[in-house]
């Protein structure tokens, strides 16, 4: 509330009865400079519950408890907050915070999905220390994150559309590892951040998301089905199995093109002279294999990590779009260690429906949104 007021916004606090056990009404009144009420029966002449909903340009519910999510998803209107939620037509941002078990309970997740389908924006909780000795997902994100997201919803710069509801989005992320022996592997520098951001944003836009994850350096998002794999062949098997029911398939993973011909059962020892030659064999091309057996209506997104200047990048992107048989291709320049492991990305997007490439950049979450906007165009759901 302080951050919003200090940046010039008017804030009305609508606590629940339970919230006042944590912070009392006088504190809220002093900080907001306005009276505070929990009930529809106070201030009756102004019909506050309708008035507040109409007046607000943004509603933030932080923290949103399991109980509040349940009441809001059922449309229950038994206090001033829940009645205001039913009358609000502006963006609504809910920030769930609770113990991990409550957050992961199917009832809570079902309520979150219902609210998302109706266009409510859910900021998933952070992982970390909770109120007891426990820790895990359930922590309220820091106020700066909440305010920034809330204001971007008002400005229309963050998408809160549930434009991927009824859609199954299958995403591969991370980097495969091809074992040489029980200790060593051939790997790559993919952290999985862009794939995870895509999974998170697709979920927030209402999709059912399956994430096939290879050695992620970041936690997989909540509310997403995760299938862990290690090698390219394992990724191929899982992607093939899941692709049948998927409407959108995104290959964000860095897949090893080659694997050692023989995997040694015992650790390779340095004693015994020259190192053994490393014989490699081709791995399946997962993406090309999936597009070859696509069913009508499916949308495929490929990635291309290239060490190239802007012109070469565009040529390579267009070639890979065709070679891989995908609808959309996201290409980035990864020379000099750029992109891998960063929280930001810069890429061009080419697709089969547009003549001109699009550029995108910023946080991996913002890039994910731009990619999903193009996906929505291809699904024919836009407009
Ligand atoms: N890909 C895949 N299976 C592979 C290799 C790549 O599905 N064995 C996918 C990647 O996930 C990505 C796209 O194909 O979406 C392009 O990957 P990239 O490594 O850039 O291209 P390659 O096909 O490996 O070609 P090259 O490395 O020769 O540029």
Best probe residue, ligand 1, of 257, 329, 348 (max atoms within 8 Å of C-beta): 257
DSSP three-state, residue 57 = coil
- CATH for the 2-155 domain, from 3.60.21.10, 3.40.50.720, 3.40.50.1950, 3.40.50.1000: 3.40.50.1950
- What are the C-alpha distances in Å from 185 to residues 172, 194, 297? 20, 23, 38
Strand, coil or helix: 139: strand
Residues pairing with 296 in the sheet? none
Compute, in angstroms, the gap from residue 252 CA to the centroid of ligand 1.
Answer: 9
Confidence class for position 77, pLDDT limits 50, 70, 90: very high
Is-same-fold flag (2-155; 168-259+280-379)? yes
What class has domain 168-259+280-379?
alpha beta
Q: For the whole prediction, is pTM greater than 0.85? A: no
- The set of residues, in sequence order, having a beta carbon less than 8 Å from that of 44 and lying 6+ positions away, is none
Return the pLDDT at 339. Answer: 66
pLDDT tens for 32-44 read 998 898 887 777 6
For ligand 1, atom 16: residue with the closest CA: 304
Residue 188 bears catalytic tag: yes
Q: How far apart are CA 97 and CA 122, in angstroms?
A: 11
Which residues line the pocket of ligand 1, CB cutoff 6 A? 232, 251, 253, 255, 257, 283, 285-287, 302-305, 320, 324
Q: Are 251 and 303 a contacting pair, CB within 8 Å?
A: yes
Residue-wise pLDDT for 170-195, tens only, equals 999 999 999 999 999 999 999 999 99
Closest by CA to 193, choosing from 175, 209, 177, 170, is 175
* Ligand 1 geometric centre to CA of 219 (Å): 24
Question: Are the CB atoms for 210 and 231 separated by under 8 Å?
Answer: no
Q: Could you tell me the residue ranges of all domains in the chain?
A: 2-155, 168-259+280-379
Q: Quick: pLDDT tens for 229-258.
A: 999 999 999 999 999 999 999 999 999 999
Q: Tokens 């098997």 label which residue?
A: 237
Set 188, 283, 332, 345: catalytic member:
188
Cα 7 to averaged position of ligand 1 atoms, centre (Å): 46
State residue 383's pLDDT score. 42
């Amino acid at each position: 509330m302080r951050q919003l007021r200090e940046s010039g916004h008017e804030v009305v606090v609508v606590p629940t009865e339970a919230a006042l056990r944590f912070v009392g009404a006088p504190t809220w009144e002093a900080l907001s400079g306005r009276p505070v009420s929990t009930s529809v029966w106070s201030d009756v002449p102004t019909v506050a519950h309708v008035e507040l909903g109409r007046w607000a340009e943004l509603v933030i519910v932080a923290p949103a408890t399991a109980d509040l999510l349940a009441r809001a998803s059922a449309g229950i209107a038994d206090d001033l907050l829940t009645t205001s939620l039913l009358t609000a037509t502006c963006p609504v941002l809910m920030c769930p915070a609770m113990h991990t078990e409550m957050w992961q309970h199917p009832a809570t997740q079902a309520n979150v999905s219902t609210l998302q389908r109706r266009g409510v924006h859910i900021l998933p909780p952070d992982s970390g220390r909770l109120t007891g000795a426990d820790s895990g997902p359930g922590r309220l994100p820091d106020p700066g994150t909440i305010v920034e997201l809330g204001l971007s919803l008002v400005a229309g710069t963050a998408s809160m559309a549930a434009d991927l509801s009824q859609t199954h989005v299958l995403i591969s992320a991370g980097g495969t590892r091809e074992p040489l022996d029980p200790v060593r592997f051939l790997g790559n520098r993919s952290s999985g951040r862009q794939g995870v951001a895509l999974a998170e944003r697709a979920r927030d836009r209402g999709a059912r998301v399956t994430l096939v994850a290879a050695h992620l350096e970041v936690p997989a998002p909540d509310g997403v089905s995760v299938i862990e794999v290690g090698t390219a062949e394992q990724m191929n098997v899982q992607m093939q199995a899941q692709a049948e029911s998927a409407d959108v398939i995104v290959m964000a993973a860095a897949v090893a093109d080659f694997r050692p011909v023989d995997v040694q059962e015992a650790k390779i020892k340095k004693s015994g002279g020259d190192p053994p030659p490393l014989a490699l064999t081709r791995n399946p091309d997962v993406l090309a294999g999936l597009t070859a057996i696509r069913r009508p209506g499916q949308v495929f997104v490929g990635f291309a990590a290239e060490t190239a200047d802007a012109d070469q990048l565009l040529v390579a992107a267009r070639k890979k779009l065709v070679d891989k048989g995908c609808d959309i291709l996201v290409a980035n320049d990864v020379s000099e260690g750029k992109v891998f492991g960063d929280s930001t990305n810069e890429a061009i997007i080419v697709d089969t429906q547009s003549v001109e490439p699009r550029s995108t950049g910023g946080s991996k979450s913002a890039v994910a949104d731009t990619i999903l906007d193009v996906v929505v165009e291809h699904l024919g759901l836009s407009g």
